[in-house]
Amino acid sequence: MNTPQQKSALLIILDGMGDRPCSKLNGVTPLEYASLPEMDRLVEQGICGLAYPLAPGLPVDTHTGTATLFGFSRSATEQLARGPVEAAGVGMEIGPRDVVLRANFASFNQQYRLLDRRAGRINEGTEALSDSINQIPPIDGVHISFKPATGHRGVVRLRGEGLSTEISNTDPGRVKLENTPQCTPLSADSDAKRTAAIVNQWSQAVFEILDQHPVNQQRRKQSLLLANGVILRGAGEFQTQNNLLKELDIKPVVISAEATVHGLAALSGFDSINLPSFTALPDTDIAAKVEAAEQALSHYPLVILHFKAPDICAHDFDPVAKANFIQAVDQALPALSQKASAIAITADHSTSSESGHHCGDPVPSLLYYPGVRRDHCSTFSEVSCMQGGLGTIPSSSLLLMLLDGLGWIRNYKVKDRWMLQ
Q: Give pLDDT, residue 96.
A: 82
What mean pLDDT, rounded, does the chain reach?
Answer: 92
* 377: pLDDT strictly greater than 90: yes
Domain carrying residue 158: 87-236
Inter-CA distances, 212 with 154, 204, 309, Å: 20, 14, 32
Query: Can you give the pTM of this predicted structure?
Result: 0.81
What confidence tens digit (pLDDT) does each residue in 167-190 have? Answer: 999 998 766 555 788 999 999 999
Q: Give pLDDT, residue 259.
A: 87
Whether residue 280 is contained in a domain is answered as yes
**Which residue, of 236, 257, 272, is where some domain finishes?**
236
pLDDT confidence bin for 26, thresholds 50/70/90:
very high
Whether residue 112 is contained in a domain is answered as yes
Question: Are 53 and 93 within one domain?
Answer: no
Rg (CA), the chain: 22
Question: Are 332 and 211 within one domain?
Answer: no
**Which residue, of 190, 216, 236, is where some domain finishes?**
236
Question: Are 140 and 287 within one domain?
Answer: no
CB 307 within 8 Å of CB 283:
no
Average pLDDT (291-310) is: 96
**Which residue, of 167, 202, 236, is where some domain finishes?**
236
CB 238 within 8 Å of CB 98:
yes
Question: Are 121 and 212 within one domain?
Answer: yes
pLDDT confidence bin for 328, thresholds 50/70/90:
very high
Question: Are 15 and 62 within one domain?
Answer: yes
Whether residue 76 is contained in a domain is answered as yes
* 46: pLDDT strictly greater than 50: yes
Where are the extended beta strands (E) located within 43-169? 47-52, 99-108, 114-116, 143-148, 153-159
Q: Give pLDDT, residue 151.
A: 85
Whether residue 164 is contained in a domain is answered as yes
- What percent of the chain is modeled with pLDDT above 70? 97
The C-alpha atoms of residue 70 and residue 59 are separated, in whole angstroms, by 18
- According to DSSP, residue 257 is labeled S
- What percent of the chain is modeled with pLDDT above 90? 79
What confidence tens digit (pLDDT) does each residue in 208-260 have? Answer: 999 999 999 999 999 999 999 999 998 988 776 778 998 899 999 999 998 88
Whether residue 3 is contained in a domain is answered as no
Average pLDDT (273-290) is: 94
Whether residue 212 is contained in a domain is answered as yes
| The total number of structural domains that make up the chain | 2
What confidence tens digit (pLDDT) does each residue in 191-210 have? Answer: 999 999 999 999 999 999 99
Q: Give pLDDT, residue 6.
A: 65
Question: Are 91 and 193 within one domain?
Answer: yes
Angle between helix axes 259-268 and 82-89 (nearest 10 degrees) is 90
Question: Are 172 and 282 within one domain?
Answer: no
Domain CATH code at residue 355 = 3.40.720.10
Bridge-based pairing of strands 271-273 and 253-255 is parallel
- According to DSSP, residue 15 is labeled T
Question: Are 158 and 216 within one domain?
Answer: yes
Question: Are 319 and 198 within one domain?
Answer: no
Lowest mean pLDDT among 60-64, 78-82, 275-279, 316-320: 78-82
pLDDT confidence bin for 272, thresholds 50/70/90:
very high
Whether residue 2 is contained in a domain is answered as no
Question: Are 228 and 255 within one domain?
Answer: no
pLDDT confidence bin for 4, thresholds 50/70/90:
very low
Inter-CA distances, 347 with 31, 53, 101, 208, 270, Å: 12, 9, 24, 39, 19
Question: Are 269 and 326 within one domain?
Answer: yes
Q: Give pLDDT, residue 177.
A: 58
* 95: pLDDT strictly greater than 90: no
Q: Give pLDDT, residue 146.
A: 96
Q: Give pLDDT, residue 410.
A: 84
Question: Are 107 and 148 within one domain?
Answer: yes
Whether residue 339 is contained in a domain is answered as yes
